Amino acid sequence: MIKTEKVLHLKSSRGRKVRVVRELYLREQVACGSALCQAGCENDGKLLSGDVTHYVVPDAGVVRDFLEILEFRELCGIVFTQTACQAAQHARGRRHYNRLRGLLKDPRHDCVLFANEFQQYSYCPREKGETQEQWHTRCVYHAAVWYYNHLAGLTPVVMITEDQNTIKTCSSLNSGVYVISTNEYLESFWPDLQAARELYASIAQTLQERESEGVEKEYPEHLPADVLEAGIKSGRYIQGMLNVNKHRAQNEAFVRFEGSTNKNTELNSDVLISGMKHRNRAIQGDSVAVELLPRSEWKGRTTALAAGQGEERAGEDAQSQLMPTGRVVGILQRNWRDYVVTFPPREELQSQSRNSQKILVIPWDYRIPKIRISTQQAETLQDHRVIVRVDSWESTSLYPSGHSVRVLGKAGELETEIQTILLENSIHVAPFSEAQLREMSLNSKEHPWQVDPAEVSSRRDLRDTHLVFSIDPLGCEDVDDTLSIRTLPGGKHLELGVHIADVTHFVKEGSLTDLEARSRATTYYLADRRYDMLPAVLSADLCSLLRRVDRYAMSVLWELDAESLAVCNVWYGRTLIHSSYQLHYELAQSLLNGEGPEVPELAQLESSEQDRKLAELLHALETLTRVARHLRAQRDWGGALELEGVEVRAQLDKDKNIVALVPKEPLEVHETVAECMIYANHWVARKIQERFPHQALLRHHPPPKQEFFNQLIDSAKSRGFTIDTRCLCLSYAHLCCNRLLRMMATQAMSNALYFSTGSCPEEEYYHYGLALDRYTHFTSPIRRYADIIVHRLLMAALQSEKEDCLHKTLASNKELEEMAQQINNKNRAAQHIQKQSIELFQYLYFRDKDPLTDERCVADAIIYTIRANGMLVFIPQYSLKGAVYLKNREGQVVSIEDEGRCTWQAGTLQRHPDRISTCTTAGTHIFHLFDHVTVRISVEPSRCHANSLSLELISNRPHAAARSESRPTGRGHSELVQEVVRREEASQQAVQEKKRPKLSREDREFRQSKKPNLYSLLQEISELALLDSSELNSFQNPKYSIFS
């Protein structure tokens, strides 16, 4: 080993030049990381594929400026030299370096790191008079030559560089080692990779123009990292995440504290950042350091409704009480992602390009500022949506600078809009790769998949002993749960079984399929499609517990006392099952109701055999229903919530046009299946938490915040006392209110979340919504990655019990907690894309309807929030919510004429917590919370952002159609008011307790009466917390609407 020194000249974070000396130890043996190695290198870990036409070695400059190109998965055989990686890290910082590291670690990218500076024969010391950059390039070239020789010339090596001199001098120096420019490389080797070439052109142009920047400061400089760190420690600065108000993106942003860094104890709210100057180049999602302004400069949060575009309406800003206000002094971590943008319209384009080479593009997300990019395509791509990346935001520039990456498509077209929604939520769902699919077992006519005899002997075989069946939505392909119930010999015990698809048998930890599933974390459901977490061969076939085929399963079997239904024994483990029936909900319910529907599985049988089998199935269903009711009652006793899902489903014709929006019907059998799944999840949670107290993946649901409850109690109180007597439809009102409160609650309440047991005190394990002390997800491994983790944990727990030692390869608490956070984030994103895709379809539904003549554009709406200049309403018919203005741009207010008709008149508005009144010469008109009004729905197309709907008040009365549909229940309003008052006490007591109290008999009966009272309202709200993406029912899959 030879010792030498490497001298570097670096720039410190304050801009000073620093000389750094590094000791290097040169060795003869440095692993090459190639599958073609002939020299017996100790290659462990990722190997460069041998099945390529060449290897490519990018120069330091290429890694620094064009890493995005090297990120294309199509490019393979990339050798990153240590020299290039370190140079790029120094020049571009941590974010860039992390991307590079991610690339190197990810087995889906065919690239390796070669430690060329430790290799005795490829290392070259810096020569006199040589610039640092020249030296780096020479090192990379030497490494390329070494690599070629080391592999005995088995494959040519291509070095790519932007340095023309090197291309000239080195290109014919060594045969087999080619030196060309990045552009030439893409053109000759990847002519079909159009996207990479376009991206290259875009980055190259940006680099060229960066030099001609101005010097005048638009923003104060950010403080250096060490100063920020010290300031945060001392409490002078506050650390947090920047959150821009999308309705007032230019003016209003908030910073929420992160961690326990807040030493400023008088602060218990967010910090307001008012205006772009104070935001000081921070972008939505960045982690920032904030300095508080003196109290005299504090401002209030805006409470008036703002038009969708975020435009300001002068003089209408009603501000609430003052709140801590600050300014950004530094950025701790940038959180930039890819942004979808639109080019400015032609007129504006001309005035813009007069002043500069660059144009300002408008991001789809209101919260992101305009971005300066260099492009010559602004004219041709007028109506398109384009992806851009932000490169920098200098203090001399009003706007951040970036470059375009890819054209998404024409704005307004369904595909473009769907892709936009996915991208804006950072969801990447590339088709499964060849390599991933190669890992899959085959199942075709020629090679049918078969049960492995070795598996049969290691599993409990239930094929002949258990009547197994599934109950799913009609047309469900991915059956991940089945059920069984039977009376054990002797008749004193029942055995309930939940059998879940054994996904982890097929998806090995660390395989490409596993990594892809982990990065997706969940199947994504959009209004008209879904993106699966697992390839179809697994999700719809080998893992799917289809009828009349042998399948592997993970089972939980409970032995219950036949009378009391108390649990006597629980068995967990791998099984082999053969499902007899694939029922759908409606069919199962119809069987239970004695309606005698036809069961397809029995159609071919003789009638006596048919009767016998039908009786057997019906008996199983009835027993299951009885058990589920019992389980449900047990949870009710603990204070669980009514899990009733009323959702709207879009009916599409073959061209994906929406023909109708229809509400979905809840059935008891939904609850029966849900209850069994909840039970299995609960028992598996107990098992893994018991065995791995510090590294089990559980799911908890924090109780709602007190202040939120108070607010809701106030709302409900006002509803109780001011209920509109014109609305005669109690059941209708009740149904609407439930959904409405549920919606309000989603905005204010926390979701259920995954966590690692070592990262959370035990008293916080509680699942509030389900009233269970332990809960996890075990029953849907085909569509949720959390369940895959839990399956592995359960197997490890059973294994360790058998061998009485802990599993070695178990993820640590820290790793598991990180994974839990990742899955939580993806679930949140999945929720957003689903919501946004539904909104997109709602827009598409109304786009071709004339609001003035089409009666479908007029609907009943309920007021659920009062604002300074209007109110927010909910339209049950379409599950739609939006703003209704009571004051227009001319300052006129809504006035009510004959029969409730609305017109605009000069007048004033007055806002109260539970009502808002307009006062004109025609008189005073009051709008209360929960009042029904009639609105007209019309579309509001947007060029740059998501299209939206706009609502116009046309009458202060309920919509006539809604009134005629409703059926009065005969319970008067006075009684309702009494109930509300009577229940208020009980419910206030309820919310003060962290865990829900046990209820008196009276309470329980009352609650189950399903009559509108405060208690049930509060429950409806709590239920909301269950609506996170994994349980969010999708349009294709209503199954998850009802359980968590």
999-1020 b/e with 16+ CB inside 10 Å = b? Answer: beeebeebbeeebbbbbbbbbb
Closest by CA to 20, choosing from 188, 111, 110, 132, is 132
Q: Which stretch binds Zn ion (CB under 5 A): 25-33, 317-325, 785-793, 818-826?
A: 25-33
* CA count, 13 A, side-chain hemisphere, 654: 0
Please state whether 888 falls in left (phi above 0), alpha (psi between -120 and 50) or beta. Answer: beta
Separation of alpha carbons 20 and 36, rounded Å: 36
Closest by CA to 994, choosing from 766, 722, 792, 828, is 766
**Shortest gap between Cβ of 149 and Zn ion (angstroms)?**
11
Our CB check for Zn ion shows the closer of 149 and 353 to be 149
Our CB check for Zn ion shows the closer of 32 and 476 to be 32
Our CB check for Zn ion shows the closer of 82 and 837 to be 82
Q: Which stretch binds Zn ion (CB under 5 A): 34-42, 48-56, 526-534, 735-743?
A: 34-42
Our CB check for Zn ion shows the closer of 39 and 456 to be 39
Q: Check residue 795 for interaction with Zn ion (CB under 5 A).
A: no
**Shortest gap between Cβ of 153 and Zn ion (angstroms)?**
13
Taking each helix axis from N to C end, the angle separating 512-520 and 813-847, rounded to the nearest 10 degrees, works out to 60
Our CB check for Zn ion shows the closer of 152 and 230 to be 152
Separation of alpha carbons 91 and 67, rounded Å: 13
**Shortest gap between Cβ of 43 and Zn ion (angstroms)?**
7
**Shortest gap between Cβ of 38 and Zn ion (angstroms)?**
7
**Shortest gap between Cβ of 37 and Zn ion (angstroms)?**
3
**Shortest gap between Cβ of 121 and Zn ion (angstroms)?**
12
**Shortest gap between Cβ of 111 and Zn ion (angstroms)?**
16
Residues within window 807-846 making contact with Zn ion, judged by CB under 5 A:
none
**Shortest gap between Cβ of 36 and Zn ion (angstroms)?**
8
Q: Which stretch binds Zn ion (CB under 5 A): 27-35, 405-413, 591-599, 803-811?
A: 27-35
**Shortest gap between Cβ of 47 and Zn ion (angstroms)?**
10
Size of the site for Zn ion (CB under 5 A): 4
Q: Check residue 152 for interaction with Zn ion (CB under 5 A).
A: no
In order of 88, 101, 160, 278, 452, the CA distances from 59 in angstroms are: 10, 17, 6, 40, 50
Beta-strand (E) ranges in 685-775? 697-700, 753-756
What burial class does residue 120 get, using C-beta atoms within 10 Å of its C-beta: 0-12 exposed, 13-18 middle, 19+ buried?
middle
Our CB check for Zn ion shows the closer of 112 and 196 to be 112
Our CB check for Zn ion shows the closer of 32 and 650 to be 32
Q: Check residue 37 for interaction with Zn ion (CB under 5 A).
A: yes
Phi, psi of 874 (to 5 degrees): -120, 135
**Shortest gap between Cβ of 62 and Zn ion (angstroms)?**
24
Q: Check residue 41 for interaction with Zn ion (CB under 5 A).
A: yes
**Shortest gap between Cβ of 136 and Zn ion (angstroms)?**
23
Q: Which residues 6+ apart lie within 8 Å of 490 measured at CB?
A: none
Q: Check residue 35 for interaction with Zn ion (CB under 5 A).
A: no
Alpha-carbon dihedral 302, 303, 307, 310, rounded to 10 degrees: 20
Separation of alpha carbons 967 and 122, rounded Å: 85
Q: Check residue 991 for interaction with Zn ion (CB under 5 A).
A: no
Find the angle CA(644)-CA(647)-CA(651) to the nearest 5 degrees: 145
Separation of alpha carbons 37 and 26, rounded Å: 20
Q: Check residue 39 for interaction with Zn ion (CB under 5 A).
A: yes
Our CB check for Zn ion shows the closer of 37 and 999 to be 37
- Please give the full DSSP string across 984-999, using - where no structure is assigned: HHHHHHHHHSSSPPPP
Q: Which stretch binds Zn ion (CB under 5 A): 40-48, 387-395, 732-740, 766-774?
A: 40-48
Q: 32, 543, 727, 896: which one contacts Zn ion (CB under 5 A)?
A: 32
Our CB check for Zn ion shows the closer of 39 and 615 to be 39
CA 1043 to chain centre: 19
Q: Which stretch binds Zn ion (CB under 5 A): 38-46, 61-69, 180-188, 195-203?
A: 38-46
Separation of alpha carbons 601 and 582, rounded Å: 8
**Shortest gap between Cβ of 112 and Zn ion (angstroms)?**
11
**Shortest gap between Cβ of 502 and Zn ion (angstroms)?**
40
Q: Check residue 154 for interaction with Zn ion (CB under 5 A).
A: no
In order of 636, 711, 891, 981, the CA distances from 989 in angstroms are: 17, 15, 45, 13
Our CB check for Zn ion shows the closer of 42 and 127 to be 42
Q: Which stretch binds Zn ion (CB under 5 A): 24-32, 428-436, 721-729, 819-827?
A: 24-32
Q: Check residue 112 for interaction with Zn ion (CB under 5 A).
A: no
Our CB check for Zn ion shows the closer of 148 and 393 to be 148
Our CB check for Zn ion shows the closer of 54 and 963 to be 54
Strands 530-531 and 237-244: unpaired
Our CB check for Zn ion shows the closer of 43 and 262 to be 43
Q: Which residues 6+ apart lie within 8 Å of 205 measured at CB?
A: 374, 375, 403
Interacting residues toward Zn ion by CB under 5 A? 32, 37, 39, 41
